[in-house]
Structure 1
């Protein structure tokens, strides 16, 4: 009977971790943290090595803003690369058993700056908070993205 209880507890623990961990893949609307307006549609996928990456699949038109077509100020290999189709989020790894993803990098194609990145997915999987920072997470900015699919 004790063995059955142990097996049952193990199974319940494993299942609860699977239920809690949401899937990051899909299409997301990026919201500008300064203006609150939509910026772009980002498609997040899982790579063969288990990390996650996101590319821009649509730039959202905004009043009074002429979209930049290429990443002019970006370092190699992003230099002069078209923004549409660019991988702006790379290397994210899931923190097992949670809705957190760490050790990623995010590039701002308008400024050309590259930041460390981490993501927290909401419990219902419909919103994510991306934190971009240099060195220490406390010295960064956060954006909210809304699931589109």
Structure 2
């Protein structure tokens, strides 16, 4: 009986630990230049398994509430509710999500995306690339 309870507890704990090693959830993005929390972004899976993310809440008021710098279907849309992550997929090593795009709604630029959960899933390293140049932010999971 003790063994089965231990095994059940281990399986339940393992599931909780694994669940945190995914970008899915609510994140507070921290500006890499100022160190300030700017917004909360909800990352979720699409039916195909790719991840997308939307700005759920602004923590700092922007001078421009709409994405006027965007050049695609998001042009002129409100930043709150804006889809900024599209198409990220889990890599074969199961530790990184990549292949998607991330939008910076302040300048309208879209970057190739790479997301890596760190610190047991409590933080998310978000890196956007254009060619050899990149910018990295570390987002914090909202509990």
Q: For the superposition of Structure 1 and Structure 2, which TM-score range results when normalised by the shorter chain?
A: 0.7 to 0.9
Residue 113, structure 1, aligned to residue 112, structure 2: no
Q: Secondary structure at the match of 1:91?
A: strand
Tell me if structure 1 keeps the 8 A contact 2:23–2:115. no
TM-score by length of 2: 0.82
Matched with 1:47 is 46
User: Structure 1 residues 120, 108: CA separation in 2 closer, same or farther (over 3 Å shift)?
Assistant: same
- How many residues are matched? 128
Q: Residue deviations 1:106-139, cap 9 Å, x none? A: 1111101111110111151110110001123xx1
Q: Radius of gyration: which is bigger?
A: 1
Distance 2:51 2:136 in 1: 18
Tell me if structure 1 keeps the 8 A contact 2:125–2:136. yes
Tell me if structure 2 keeps the 8 A contact 1:20–1:98. no
Structure 2 segments unaligned to the other structure (5+ residues): 1-13
Distance 2:85 2:95 in 1: 17
Q: Note the 1:2-21 alignment, pairs <5 A.
A: 19=18
Distance 2:23 2:48 in 1: 15
TM-score by length of 1: 0.79
Question: What is the deviation of 1:19?
Answer: 4.7
Structure 1 segments unaligned to the other structure (5+ residues): 1-14
User: Which of 108, 123, 131 matches 1:127?
Assistant: 123
Question: What is the deviation of 1:99?
Answer: 1.9
Distance 1:53 1:46 in 2: 6
